[in-house]
Amino acid sequence: MPDSPAERTILVVEDEDAIAQAVASRLRAEGFRVELSSDGVDAVEACGRLTPDLVVLDLMLPGLDGLEVCRRIQAQRPVPVLMLTARDSETDMLVGLAVGADDYLTKPFSPRELVARVHAILRRVTRGTDASNSDVAPIRHGNLEIDPTGRRAHLDGAIVHLTPTEFDLLAYLATRQGAVCTRDRLLAEVWGYSDGSGPRTVDSHVRALRRKLGPSVVRTVHGVGYAIGDEAEAR
């Protein structure tokens, strides 16, 4: 992945022109190359043609909705997706994560928050690429094996398909087995959010992990945060 914003392309998929232009203008001001698409079918074609570094994808689109677009573009090639939704629904968020979205924003959102999310997602992808180039021993927890080098997780020997963010969250908790990590710490260390925004993002990703790995892998410590393994001190 290119290192500087000027070398990175972001595809913005949004059918409301005012929102699309505002998002594109702000991202261009940050130095990104930005392309626009206003419907689902065109978005899938554009993603294959442009091979963007990130897709900002509205959930409600004409032609194909955002969930189907996300499924299709992820089938073409793995690409980070920031999903935009006008509905503050946990179900929508979980389904979006399940089809390959890395994160989501609920409308209305501030341009500052959008930019912070975009930069954080791209940093995670770069960090993941760097980790895959290093030789790190697999992490085992019961019948779960996590391979940081290959960025793969196996449950009972079968590969589990995780989004980049899901993998980062799982690996972060697994390398600190027994430590209880607060939501704010997870947001800072996994998502790269320094202002503590988006605690529901952590909860939604944990729910997505539990759907894929079973309910007992990630443990909730009520009022504190999450952990993998036996109880230890909060961090």
| 179, part of any domain | yes
According to the per-residue pLDDT averaged within each range, which of 14-18, 58-62, 83-87 is highest?
14-18
Q: Report the predicted TM-score, pTM, of the whole model to 2 decimal places.
A: 0.74
Please tell me whether residues 123 and 9 are part of one structural domain: yes
Where in the sequence is the domain holding 46, given as residue range(s)?
5-130
101 and 67 fall within a common domain: yes
Residue 11 lies in a domain: yes
- pLDDT-derived band at 235 (thresholds 50, 70, 90) equals very low
**Span 163-205, pLDDT tens digits:** 778 888 999 999 998 899 999 999 888 887 766 566 677 888 8
Q: Is 174 exposed, middle or buried (0-12, 13-18, 19+ CB in 10 A)?
A: buried
Per-residue model confidence as pLDDT tens digits over 20-62? 999 999 999 999 999 999 999 999 999 999 999 999 999 989 8
pLDDT for residue 144 is more than 90? yes
- In this structure, the answer to whether residues 124 and 220 fall within a common structural domain is no
Is 86 inside any structural domain? Answer: yes
CATH number reported for the structural domain that contains residue 159 in this entry: 1.10.10.10
Q: Are residues 41 and 10 in the same domain?
A: yes
Long-range contacts of 13-18 (CB under 8 A, 24+ apart): 13/37, 13/38, 13/40, 13/43, 13/55, 13/56, 13/57, 13/58, 13/61, 13/66, 13/69, 14/38, 14/56, 14/58, 14/84, 15/39, 15/58, 15/60, 15/61, 15/62, 16/58
